[in-house]
Chain A
């Protein structure tokens, strides 16, 4: 798993590549905690190059979004596909998160 970060005017954009499983979900949680500890209330997570996510990864998304919701922030998801998209659908996460095809569309929503 690799996480690349860029700071947009409206949000922090984190692009995840590879695979999120129980062996690296803690690393992702730590990184997302750092990114949301500052002033930024909006985290855009680009998953277009993410090929695998297990419940350990979903748990991180849920923990961070609960934290952001408490201070009126949000997580926006981008580019879900293949088995990652399927996992979000099965878990019902597709109905509780805002999901966009592109980063531009997500940032336009902010």
Chain B
């Protein structure tokens, strides 16, 4: 039996600290008072109908979180691109024309990294199975699809996919390079849209 999810032992959400503290304090803890069971709750979770019009609402909280962690303007732009490509794929293909949701969660991964979990309840789709490569085919022969996956993979440090409980769960790991940044790299954070 999964005690943490059973009806009797429903976890109680307790906010330990406000978010905007130091990195290690940026957590919420779910605690079951009976057993002392706890699990971390990620600091940002957004759920919206899987529509292109909701891209900004799904992406902006991640950008803000990355900014708070000290990511450069350039890296935040890349994170926005990664997330846009993942979410557009959900909006256009996951639910085959029917209504559905897209969920984005983000948390710290290490001293200079974060992970973004992108979840949908649509048809199974393992993005990692697609081996899109840089193409130099002339314009007339160039395929129109596949560019998004190519860009997403390029700007992501690591990717993980699992199909679980009828959900596609894609986790994107992103680090913040600390060296070789130009003035442009450190440009102020730009609002999405």
Contact = CB atoms under 8 A, between A and B. Distances in A.
Q: Do A and B come from one complex?
A: yes
Interface of A: 19, 21-23, 51-52, 54-56, 58-59, 62-63, 65-66, 69, 82-83, 87, 90-92, 95-97
B85 A52 contact: no
Interface stretch (B34-42, B141-149, B156-164): B141-149
A96 B143 CA distance: 13
A21 B59 CA distance: 12
A17 to B, nearest CB: 13
B139 A69 contact: yes
Contacts of B192: 21
B151 A96 contact: no
B154 interface: yes
A91 B52 CA distance: 23
Given A51-B190, A54-B85, A66-B139, A90 B52 contact: no
B74 interface: yes
User: Is chain B's interface secondary structure helix, strand, loop, or mixed overall?
Assistant: helix
Q: Which of the four size classes fits the interface of chain B?
A: 20 to 34
B138 interface: yes
Contacts of A63: 144
Contact of A91 (B53, B84, B138, B150): B150
Given A22-B52, A23-B52, A54-B81, A82 B184 contact: yes
A87 B142 contact: no
Nearest to B59: A21
Contact of A54 (B53, B134, B151, B184): B151
Given A23-B52, A66-B139, A96-B142, A52 B80 contact: yes
Contact of A52 (B77, B137, B138, B140): B77
B180 interface: no
